[in-house]
Amino acid sequence: MRKMQKRVYVVAADTTVFLGTGRKEFHPKKPRPGLEHYIAEAGKGVLAQISDPEAVDEGVVGNFMASRFNRQGHLGAMMAVVHPSLAGKPSLRVEGACASGGLAVVTAIKSVLAGQADLSLVVGVEVQNTVKAIYGADILAGAGHYAAERKSGHAYYFPAKFSDRAGEYKKRFGAERTWAAMGRWYEQAVRNARLNPKAQEFHNTTTDLFSTHQTMAPNPKSFCEHINVLDCSKVSDGAAAILVASEEGLKRTGRKKSEAVELVGFGHSTADLTAQPDDLTVLDTTRRAAREALEMAGVAVRDVGVFEVHDCFTISGILACEALGLAGHGEGADYVLSGATRRDGPTPVNTSGGLVGFGHPTGASGVRMAADLWRQLTGRAGDDQVKIPSERPHGIFASMGGNDRTVVSCVFRRAA
């Protein structure tokens, strides 16, 4: 079993507003910020928290499809917009579909573990509101095996993939309880987002979220067979950033160890992109990555007090609860219906809104998960802070790319 060879920390974190439909300031016909703005805002927000920005050794950008959404590649060379001292230092962009942000986090971790950097600035970014939704669905279909599946696939390619997962789950484990759990997940996501001023659903004023979801029956003629639009994470623009440090790097930031979280385990797993999932009701790759992270950390899921999962759709949130070991196979819907994943439950999940509530700028979501765990574990989460029990001092995230084809998972605890 792999072990951490040295101590690695997340020292600081920041996120921008996740902008898109639902935010009062969003207007599709008015000019909006671009990639440079978001990279600079999130990165500067992190560097403002340390004593010397010039101490940063390198940069890592997580991004999925700027080359198509924005006609812009070469994002590693854009890091100097954060601080002039980053010009001339190594920086690169990594990609793994919707797990691009998670991959960026792990890339920085590996660099620090290898002794190639003591301070690595990680920025995850995506600007997606540049095309109509139907064209965006085609771009995002690149997270699947485009050559084999796109032409014959659904117009809304990935919603249809997870609609199929929802349909199979309903068939095998009960349609009524599955649909109810999906509604409760949506309700939970928006309620959490209402406590987070940067969330895309922060301005959502719907009175009865659960009933609104339940009465909006899936319509295969206009969308998908087993999910509705409320089951989906929204199209978002935004960025998140964290600073990954060695012990020496932590000293150079001028921050106290109590202001950091320590990485105690990580996992990275991939599946065959050209193959179909063995079982639509199981997130195998998520399960492997999370198990690997927990084993490296030497802890069990019962030792985790706060969770971040990749709920690109409400059904994936339910399946992720099973993949992380919170519930058995086929028991995820009941686990959600029990209230266990709410912020006042024993295992709070996606406390700032998750992908459904906070938003999903694809390349940013994995970094945002790490940022939110840093906020929670250091007591800096503001209105969306939850209590972390002393007997469950860890946080875990699982950042998923595509239809559970690439997954990164990290386990943190407050540094001491």
Give the active site residues. 98, 360
Give me the residue label for tokens 């340390």. Answer: 50
Residues 264, 83, 123, 130, Cα dihedral to 10°: 170
Exposed, middle or buried by CB within 10 Å (0-12, 13-18, 19+), for 290?
A: buried
What are the backbone dihedrals phi and psi of residue 261, each rounded to the nearest 5 degrees, phi first? -120, 145
User: Which tokens belong to 222?
Assistant: 């206009």
HSE (side-chain half, CA atoms, 13 Å) at 86: 25
Q: What's the CA gap between 286 and 253, in Å, rounded?
A: 33
Please name which of 12, 35, 406, 68 lies closest in space to residue 239, comparing C-alpha atoms. 35
What are the backbone dihedrals phi and psi of residue 44, each rounded to the nearest 5 degrees, phi first? -65, -35
Q: What's the CA gap between 292 and 294, in Å, rounded?
A: 6
- In 203-288, beta strands by DSSP E: 237-245, 261-270
CB count in 10 Å sphere of residue 15: 29
Please name which of 100, 85, 2, 11 lies closest in space to residue 407, comparing C-alpha atoms. 100
Please name which of 197, 220, 216 lies closest in space to residue 208, comparing C-alpha atoms. 216
Please name which of 193, 189, 187 lies closest in space to residue 213, comparing C-alpha atoms. 187
412: left (phi over 0), alpha (psi -120 to 50) or beta: beta
Q: What's the CA gap between 310 and 414, in Å, rounded?
A: 22
What are the backbone dihedrals phi and psi of residue 124, each rounded to the nearest 5 degrees, phi first? -105, 135
SS (H, E, C) 257-279: HHHCEEEEEEEEEECCCCCCCCC
Q: How does strand 8-15 pair with strand 237-245?
A: antiparallel
In the 8-state DSSP scheme, what is residue 313? B
